[in-house]
Amino acid sequence: MSTLKTPRNTSPAARCENIYEYDASLTGAGLTIGIVMSRFSQDIGEGLLSACTSELKRLGVAEGSITLATVPGALESPLALQAMAQSGRFDALIALGAVIRGETYHFEIVANDASRGLMEVQLDSGVPIANGILTCEDDDQALARMQQKGSDCAQVAVEMANLLRALGERS
């Protein structure tokens, strides 16, 4: 099913008249999604995972089309995601985990390098990656954000997989 849309020409208030625009599609049927979850801060990772997989299923991704790999911490996520992206088996990937601020500079190193690694894998492979690695001041902040972030990541992965398919169809 294509998510392509005909050119817009509806009113002067339209974003762009006579410009081709892709529809955002949250239809997960037929997509294969890979998830990498950090085991550091396990309770938060499990909460992210539960919300993420529930939303993926709600969007129509078949349970058998979701694959999970766990890694020790956020810094190991990019390497596992890279292997998944290179396998050619996934339409989109999701990184889940939490980096909680401590008393040292280590928080910044882990948060920045994990994020940079995810972006590099995504751009090098062409496989979209939804970043669900929370960076929080404390456990309470992470617990408060995990349900929404897990769900958001599922939506991002599905939407980006569909957009990339549609971009390929139009080429």
Among this protein's residues, is 106 annotated catalytic? yes
Q: How many residues does the chain have?
A: 171
Q: From the candidates 58, 106, 116, 170, which is the catalytic residue?
A: 106
Distance CA 146, CA 132 (A): 9
Q: In three state form, how does the secondary structure of the chain look?
A: CCCCCCCCCCCCCCCCCCCCCCCCCCCCCCCCEEEEEECCCHHHHHHHHHHHHHHHHHCCCCHHHEEEEEECCHHHHHHHHHHHHHHCCCCEEEEEEEEECCCCCHHHHHHHHHHHHHHHHHHHHCCCEEEEEEEECCHHHHHHHHHHHHHHHHHHHHHHHHHHHHHHHHC
**Which of the residues are catalytic?**
106
